[in-house]
Homo-oligomer: A and B are copies of this chain.
Amino acid sequence: MTKYEPGHKEATREKIVTTASRMFRERGVRATTVPDVMEAAGLTVGGFYKHFESKEDLFCAAFDEALASTKRSNDKARGEVSNEEWRRRTAERYLSEFHRDHPEAGCAFAALCGDLQRAEPEIRQQVQNGLVGLIGGFETHMSGSGPEAREAAWRFLAQMLGGLVLSRSVADANTSTEILEACRGMDRPPSSASEIKA
């Protein structure tokens, strides 16, 4: 009962959560088993249910962790640049080959999109809170004002998310890169793909 120093259990829990967060993003929720997570965390299955009520409970915590992690890296990259430059940099980072190849450390919405679409209300509420917060930040870097900027922010996010997911799903590396590069061109809608760049 008192064999471990105080805070040990909390540290263990956090270790499990961060490990699960990466594994869920890499393999998907259903393909990630509780024994797998515990082993990857250097533990065994037995102790798991002293930390979490269920696998779903773990997923809630892990998804939150992934969102927080994304938010941290977003905040870190925040500089004082023009809106256009901010969009260019953000898209370049999001639609990079590195991000494509490392879902376990990347955007939770993209990596878990299959699971989130069918998730329970509790998770969907987390998704919503995460997205609304994200969009609130994006909004300030769009050109319109008020509702227009918000709409533009949703489109911005949707195009990035869709591009990343598509680039991760095709067989050929060249096609995958083609998708990434095409979707980085945020400021060029289907109707004006002319003068901006060759």
- Taking Cβ atoms with an 8 Å cutoff, the residues of A that contact B are 27-28, 30-31, 83-84, 87, 103, 109, 111-119, 121, 124-125, 127-128, 131-132, 141-144, 148-163, 165-166, 168-172, 175, 178-179, 181-183, 185-194
Contact = CB atoms under 8 A, between A and B. Distances in A.
Contacts of A186: 189-190
Interface of A, helix, strand, loop or mixed by DSSP = helix
Nearest to A153: B190
B119 A169 contact: yes
Given A128-B170, A162-B160, A118 B155 contact: no
Contacts of A189: 152, 155, 186-189
Contact of A142 (B155, B170, B190): B190
A28 B118 contact: yes
